[in-house]
Amino acid sequence: MSVRTVATQPFSDQKPGTSGLRKKVPVFQQPHYLENFVQSIFDSIAAPKGATLVLGGDGRYYNREAIQIILKMAAANGFGEVLVGCGGILSTPAASCVIRKYKTYGGIILSASHNPGGPKEDFGIKYNSNNGGPATETVTEAIFAKSKSIASYRILDAADVPLDQLNETSLGGMKVKVIDPVSDYAELMESLFDFDAIRTLLKGGFKIKFDAMHAVNGPYAKEILEARLGAVSGSVMNAVPLEDFGGGHPDPNLTYAHDLVEIMFGADAPDFGAASDGDGDRNMILGKRFFVTPSDSLALLAANATLAPAYKQGLAGVARSMPTSAAVDRVAKALNIPCFETPTGWKFFGNLMDAGKVTLCGEESFGTGSNHVREKDGLWAVLFWLNIVAARKQSVEAIVREHWAKFGRNFYSRYDYEGLPTEAANGVMQHLRDSFATLTKQQFGKYTVQTCDDFSYTDPVDGSVSKGQGVRILFSDGSRIIFRLSGTGTEGATLRVYLEAFEADVSRHHLDAQDALKELIQIALRISELQTRTGRDQPTVIT
């Protein structure tokens, strides 16, 4: 076995987005494409000789090939050991857990999250640091800069490593340890929540349904919900991970998790439903014929946190991404703890958690998490909810309605316009930025614009500044309209419009969010000129 130095040329399109580098599989399959990016990671992170790396992915198409390439490159770049999930599998939160538990130098996670998988679909790669979280902007920018000047990469000429059994092999002197992808994570979950109480709840006839969407969480959910907690067999549906997720979007929302939605809104609906995404970091929570908005879920977890053993002592603080509703802010105020507002993407929460400023955090995009790892965590959120239900002995709907009665309701919705021509999407954003002066103080029916800006964030821990994080139209009554371009899409541009209106009056809490937000939606369309500029009458997805 010998190390080969391969001459290469830069690709111009290796800028990591909100959550790593995501492209179509054929892009990744081009000669040197993946290798260039991996070498750029290794050149940027300056791992000492003999360092340990964690490696795994969500099992989508191209996962296995990519793992073999990365292993051979790690061996050629002086790593001493790689912990790789059996079959090349690690959910994103499990990878974060393993990096932290074994105090490794970092990890590489292969996933395009909620995007479809398959030979013509999406693939992705990202680097996580030793805190278990996505590399900071500074590191991702260094990786991108490297990728623009790369001239060669190093790879070991060797046969593929067997990854389907728990074993240890050597790859040119580097140890490859194949680990059980589930056990470390399952153990961590048991240490956080009251498994006995959840077991009792389930034994008492409380019915649950978890849709793994043929994605990575299938084996995790089977082990934790069925084997350890005793949910009846079959409680986990679509449990077998498939390379193409069975042809679906592994995105847990009311549109894409349709199998589950049909069951939960059907005649004999179970008491609790949940789903997670391609790489297991997102979650959707449903009660019997009842949908919990992710922003509300975050607020509710914060308000009820002390019911779970891990958070019994209370929370140091909470954080949410800027477009996420301010429901959690109200809880933070009541608890008298700080609440941070960060740009979209999990990498901004890591510093706050490392500094002990924040215990819980979340995003409107079906992501919630805590300082137990440094990624959002789908099953964790499900277990947290089950813990709360077991402790409060109320239905999901009753718990949410009580929460609204106490804190008020933040009506919330997101409109996604996917696959837009990039120029049209940029045009909408530019038009909005150009309109700040005229919009300020303008009145639209009962709504008056207070201020508008392009969100900028100064990290309270390291002082780094992230600009241009989304246009905010803030109204005097606390309502908000946010416009943002997605950083995870792989086709054209995706424009997201986020709408939020606060309602203190309990007699209006039963309203449908779309009805409650009707006027704001009209305002958003009008001020952005979205329809004329993009030629789209309707969003692709509403969540």
Q: Report the distance separating Cα 305 and Cα 163, nearest Å.
A: 39
For residue 407, what are the CA distances in angstroms to 181, 242, 341, 363, 396? Answer: 40, 42, 19, 19, 17
* Binds ligand VG1 by CB under 6 A, chosen from 184, 194, 277, 377: 277
For residue 343, what are the CA distances in angstroms to 114, 419, 527? Answer: 20, 22, 23
Q: Report the distance separating Cα 124 and Cα 21, nearest Å.
A: 5
Residues from 15 through 34 that contact ligand VG1 (CB under 6 A)? 18-19
Measured from the CB atom, the residue of 486 and 531 that comes closer to ligand VG1 is 486
Measured from the CB atom, the residue of 18 and 235 that comes closer to ligand VG1 is 18
DSSP 119-130: TTSEEEEEEE-T
Instruction: Look up 456 and say whether it is catalytic.
Output: no
Residue 359: Cβ-neighbour burial (10 angstroms; 0-12, 13-18, 19+): buried
- How far, rounded to the nearest angstrom, does the alpha carbon of residue 466 sit from its chain's CA centroid? 19
Q: If you compute the radius of gyration of the chain from its CA atoms, what whole number of angstroms results?
A: 23
Residue 478: Cβ-neighbour burial (10 angstroms; 0-12, 13-18, 19+): middle
* Binds ligand VG1 by CB under 6 A, chosen from 121, 363, 377, 459: 363
Residues from 291 through 310 that contact ligand VG1 (CB under 6 A)? none
- The answer to the question of residue 113 lying near Co ion (CB under 5 A) is yes
Q: SS3 for 525?
A: helix
Q: Report the distance separating Cα 50 and Cα 32, nearest Å.
A: 25
Residues from 495 through 514 that contact ligand VG1 (CB under 6 A)? 496
Measured from the CB atom, the residue of 357 and 496 that comes closer to ligand VG1 is 496
String marking each residue 382-421 x if it binds ligand VG1 according to CB under 6 A: ----------------------------------------
305 closest CA partner among 254, 259, 371, 239? 371
* Binds Co ion by CB under 5 A, chosen from 137, 281, 363, 375: 281
Measured from the CB atom, the residue of 153 and 346 that comes closer to ligand VG1 is 346
Contact between 350 and 128 (Cβ < 8 Å):
no
- The answer to the question of residue 374 lying near ligand VG1 (CB under 6 A) is no
String marking each residue 257-276 x if it binds Co ion according to CB under 5 A: --------------------
Give least dist CB 326 to ligand VG1, A: 16
From 6-14, 332-340, 344-352, 514-522, give the range in contact with ligand VG1 by CB under 6 A: 344-352
Residues from 109 through 148 that contact ligand VG1 (CB under 6 A)? 113-114
- Closest residue to ligand VG1 in the complex (CB): 113
Tokens found for residue 16 = 């990591």
Q: In this structure, which amino acid lies at residue 186?
A: A
Residues from 466 through 495 that contact ligand VG1 (CB under 6 A)? 486-488
* Binds Co ion by CB under 5 A, chosen from 271, 279, 364, 377: 279
- The answer to the question of residue 543 lying near ligand VG1 (CB under 6 A) is no
Q: Kindly name the residue from 19, 40, 44, 113 that is annotated as catalytic.
A: 113
Alpha-carbon torsion, ordered 342, 343, 345, 348, to 10 deg: -50
- The answer to the question of residue 426 lying near ligand VG1 (CB under 6 A) is no
Number of residues that bind ligand VG1 (CB under 6 A): 18
SS (H, E, C) 483-515: EEECCCCCCCEEEEEEEEEEECCHHHCCCCHHH
- The answer to the question of residue 345 lying near ligand VG1 (CB under 6 A) is yes
Residues classed as catalytic? 113
Which residues bind to Co ion, rule: CB under 5 A? Answer: 113, 277, 279, 281-282
Which residues bind to ligand VG1, rule: CB under 6 A? Answer: 18-19, 113-114, 277, 281-282, 321, 344-346, 363, 365, 367, 486-488, 496
